[in-house]
Amino acid sequence: MQHDLTLRVLRLDPRAALPAYQSDLAAGLDLSACLPRGEFENESVTLTPRRILRIPCGIAVAIPPGFEGQVRPRSGLATKHGVTIPNAPGTVDADYRGEMFVALINLGPEPYVVRHGARIAQLVIAPVARAAVVEAESLAATPRGAGGFGSTGGH
């Protein structure tokens, strides 16, 4: 499969897993937990219900200019265990060079154990459009107008 862009990855911990696509047509690269030795008992951490933790990935990335990284939940963790990302999708800007972390929240009824090396999220590289901001004295009218949340119908 041909790659149109390059994601440069710096391994900050030699035990960190590089982001990886799990199939030829996958949209997201899986991100894995890199739990530092000594900081987490048995290289795992328990995410109790309603708790939010920042899980280190042990890597830094250089996203190409004109793109962003969208950190999204893994569907299996969300549907089977209620473990998701509270700020989904989280954004990684092209100029960020620090360690990647994933904020996880447990919305399920049972504690969930995150182990070192576990795939915890996915990273989608997406183009970014930058808009010119212009102050206006008025805006063009539309049929929707100022209708907000739920104003377009649905139940």
Q: Give the tokens for residue 52.
A: 């939010």
List, in sequence order, every residue forming a beta bridge with 89; answer none if it has no partner.
Answer: none
Question: What is the phi/psi pair of residue 41, to 5°?
Answer: -60, 130
Calculate what percentage of the chain has a pLDDT beyond 90: 83
What is residue 106's DSSP assignment? E
Burial bucket for residue 101 (CB in 10 Å: 0-12, 13-18, 19+): middle
Which whole-number Å values give the CA distances from 73 to 28, 65, 84, in the listed order? 10, 24, 5
Confidence tier at 149 by pLDDT (50, 70, 90): confident
pLDDT in tens, 103-128: 999 999 999 999 999 999 999 999 99
**Cα angle, residue 14 at apex, residues 42 and 96 outer, rounded to 5°:** 105
Distance, CA of 91 to CA of 100 (rounded, Å):
11
Check residue 39 and give its pLDDT. 66
Average pLDDT in the 35-58 region? 88
Residues 100, 54 contacting (CB under 8 angstroms): no
Does residue 3 register a pLDDT over 70? no
Give me the domains of the chain, ranges plus CATH numbers. Answer: 8-127 (2.70.40.10)
Does residue 80 register a pLDDT over 60? yes
